[in-house]
Amino acid sequence: MCGIIGYAGREQAAPILLDGLERMEYRGYDSAGVAVRSETAGLQVKKTKGRLQALADMTHGGADLEGTLGIGHTRWATHGEPNDINAHPHVSENGRIALVHNGIIENYLELKEHLQRQGVTFVSDTDSEVVAQLLEFHYNECGSMLEAVGRCLRRIEGSYAFGIICSDYPNALIAARKDSPLILGYGEHGNFIASDVTAIIKYTRDVAYMDDGEIAVITPESIDVFDDEMSPVEKAHSVVDWDVSAAEKGGYPHFMFKEILEQPEAVRKTISPRIREGRVVLDDLHLTAEEARRFSRIFIIACGSSYHVGMISKYNWERLLRRPVEVCLASEFRYSDPLVDEDTLVIVISQSGETLDTMAAMREAKRRGGRTLAIVNVVGSSIAREADDVLYTWAGPEIAVATTKAYSTQLVLMDLVGLYLADLLGTVAREEYDAILAAAEALPEQMRQVLEHVEKLQYFASRYFNHDSIFFIGRNLDYALGMEGSLKLKEISYIHSEAYASGELKHGTISLIEPGTLVVALGLYTALFDKAMSNVVEVKARGAEVLAVTTESCRERMEKNADSVVAVPDTHPILQPSLGVIPLQLFAYYVALQRGCDIDKPRNLAKSVTVE
Ligand code: AGP
């Protein structure tokens, strides 16, 4: 997704803007630009298609741009192809207003035609430029940039985070947000706006999160915030508690590899504070037993890997709670006229807390009276702030586009929440409760044991990286886990892959299995191990090559039929996916490495998808 940074201070702005944009590269982009206001040269705008390094080269690391007020942007194209003209910042026709935008202006064509009828000429194909021109129109009308922004926001429809500077205002930048995140940073040598904390944590940990409809005026000395009626708003400050190194590679070849290795610690940090004296304790979940008993239906809503967590949780929660649990893709849920009412619990899972599909689905569930609980990794993110309750995963900043440690912490936190609810409902026996809890506490160490054999997956990747289509098959929890293994592989290696319920293969898809087809067979759900074995035999009979992932207790039996076997320690069935996912992450990583892919920033993808 697009990245925004803005600065108003006493230091030269351009180097700060470039540094902040570099820290947001992981979000995915196709062009970048900065605008700096100078005393002598008015607005200086530099922007280019391609990597941020090209922009730094163009401006000699920002040294060519003099001025202490500026905005910067990395663009992930939605309207208008990636090129120099469509890159942000966009400038009004008279050259006095520059704007950066993250989001989508739904009614941009109507506004563009209106302005064209007023004689305005446009240079780009973007929706964002329309707002720059509209600002000039209203600024000419009223003579106040703040008022002009207010008038603009009342006319545009869609999602936005704006950073705006005007050559008539030497010390002030203006920001506004609706549906796309924007953070205010209070620094010692100046103040900031940013799409996410990683861009400014080097300069300040003192931040506030803008809410929908708010406008902020940022100067070197102050940040004033107004609501959509222009009434002043007092913003609560937050202190960012993770350190800069957490958002840096720290000597690893890729963020993704670093984050795979961080999983045991991330899982420990997520579960330890929530297990006290042999009980699951969820201080942030304000739900009584009576309220829990009232829920006649439970939805889990998410996208991508977070959705795959929901798939696994469906199996586990139905076992624990003995209630129907429906897992839905957020993009489908919101338009399905969902059966949600005040007796519905809606779990929303999102690493970034900004995924627009998930946010919109949650709002739809709330509108229908559902009780919403968000499982989120980014503190203060939009979903976290709008849900009725939020439980944070403590994975720390996840920079690689392909999620690993956030997925793993979501998985275990959902296991704990399921156990907690089952205890509230009285649907889990004491010894089962204790067994699951003991297994959860042992998980970080077992994850470390799995990570001691990364070279095994490196070897398998070197054997299989040239395949052009790979199947992941499994039953029950293994099928849900296979969905994640398949997505990881597709995302970063660009190999086509498909996860399939192995019992369903014979109903059609098995026609695609031919000599040499690679099948990753998951045999971790030991209750159905015999079935998994028969499916391995079934695809082997058609000539498939089988890489199996199973548990230590089943390794020997699996080795009788599979060509290659990776085994992970045995744990409680509910938690087994947390160990089984690690070989799948490593397999995807090493295959992508063999294929020379851009592992941390895969093509076409963004870390947080804040558009529909
Ligand atoms: C996962 O590796 C992908 N980056 C993607 O599927 C992601 O899980 C999805 O976009 C949901 O993101 P969220 O968890 O931040 O809502």
Whether 474 and 308 have beta carbons less than 8 Å apart is answered as: no
Q: Which helix (H) or strand (E) holds 183?
A: strand 183-186
How long a stretch of residues is the chain? 612
CA of 381 to the centre of ligand 1 (A): 15
Residue 303 in contact with ligand 1 by CB distance below 6 A: yes
Return the closest-CA partner of residue 477 out of 418, 529, 406, 430. Answer: 529
| Distance spanning both ends of the chain, measured CA to CA | 12
- Whole-angstrom CA distances from 432 to 211, 268, 274, 493, 512 are 43, 21, 18, 40, 42
Coil, helix or strand for 8? strand
Q: Which helix (H) or strand (E) holds 317?
A: helix 304-321
CA angle (368 as vertex; 367, 370 as ends), nearest 5: 100
Q: Which helix (H) or strand (E) holds 162?
A: strand 158-166
Q: What percent of the chain is predicted at pLDDT more than 70? A: 99
Residue 355 in contact with ligand 1 by CB distance below 6 A: yes
Active-site residue flag, 47? no
Q: Which helix (H) or strand (E) holds 318?
A: helix 304-321
Whether 105 and 155 have beta carbons less than 8 Å apart is answered as: no
Measure the CA–CA gap between 184 and 482, rounded to whole angstroms: 40
What are the tens digits of pLDDT across the range 24-44? 876 667 899 999 999 888 899
Among 148-162, 182-196, 241-255, 461-475, which is the least confidently predicted range?
Answer: 241-255
Among 253-257, 553-557, 606-610, which is the least confidently predicted range?
Answer: 606-610
- Whole-angstrom CA distances from 50 to 128, 403, 496 are 19, 24, 26
Residue 381 in contact with ligand 1 by CB distance below 6 A: no
Coil, helix or strand for 137? helix
pLDDT-derived band at 81, boundaries 50, 70, 90: confident
Residue 358 in contact with ligand 1 by CB distance below 6 A: yes
Ligand 1 mutation target, pool 300, 333, 351, 379, most atoms within 8 A of CB = 351
Q: Where are the alpha helices (DSSP H) in 395-499?
A: 405-425, 430-451, 454-464, 477-493
What are the tens digits of pLDDT across the range 189-216? 999 999 988 899 999 999 999 999 999 9
Q: Averaged over 333-355, what is the pLDDT?
A: 96
Return the closest-CA partner of residue 235 out of 184, 283, 198. Answer: 184
Measure the CA–CA gap between 292 and 285, rounded to whole angstroms: 11
What are the tens digits of pLDDT across the range 441-495? 999 999 999 998 888 899 999 999 999 899 999 999 999 999 999 999 999 999 9
pLDDT of residue 73: 97
Active-site residue flag, 2? yes
Ligand 1 mutation target, pool 383, 390, 399, 403, most atoms within 8 A of CB = 403
CA of 193 to the centre of ligand 1 (A): 24
Residue 422 pLDDT > 90, yes or no?
yes
Residue 248 pLDDT > 90, yes or no?
no
Closest residue by Cα to atom 16, ligand 1, is 350
Measure the CA–CA gap between 405 and 393, rounded to whole angstroms: 10
Closest residue by Cα to atom 2, ligand 1, is 402
Return the closest-CA partner of residue 536 out of 558, 514, 567. Answer: 558
Task: Please identify, by atom number, the ligand 1 atom nearest to the C-alpha of residue 355.
Answer: 16
pLDDT of residue 456: 87
Q: Averaged over 262-279, what is the pLDDT?
A: 94
Mean pLDDT of the chain: 94
Among 30-39, 442-451, 545-554, 600-609, which is the least confidently predicted range?
Answer: 600-609
Q: How many helices (H) and strands (E) does the chain have?
A: 19, 27
| CB neighbour burial string for 173-206, b if at least 16 within 10 angstroms, e if fewer | bbbbbbbbbbbbbbbeebbbbbbbbbbbbebbbb
Measure the CA–CA gap between 174 and 166, rounded to whole angstroms: 9
Whether 373 and 389 have beta carbons less than 8 Å apart is answered as: yes
Strand 496-501 with 469-474, pairing: parallel
Query: Which of 244-248, 276-280, 307-311, 604-608 has the highest average model confidence (pLDDT)?
Result: 307-311
What are the tens digits of pLDDT across the range 292-316? 999 999 999 999 999 999 999 999 9
Residue 76 pLDDT > 80, yes or no?
no
Residue 403 in contact with ligand 1 by CB distance below 6 A: yes
What are the tens digits of pLDDT across the range 488-542? 999 999 999 999 999 999 999 999 999 999 999 999 999 999 999 999 999 999 9
Q: Averaged over 214-234, what is the pLDDT?
A: 96
pLDDT of residue 611: 76
Closest residue by Cα to atom 5, ligand 1, is 304
Whether 501 and 479 have beta carbons less than 8 Å apart is answered as: yes
User: Max CA-CA distance within the chain?
Assistant: 80
pLDDT of residue 397: 83
Closest residue by Cα to atom 7, ligand 1, is 304
Whether 192 and 202 have beta carbons less than 8 Å apart is answered as: no
Sign of CA dihedral 284, 288, 289, 290: negative
pLDDT-derived band at 53, boundaries 50, 70, 90: very high
pLDDT-derived band at 1, boundaries 50, 70, 90: low
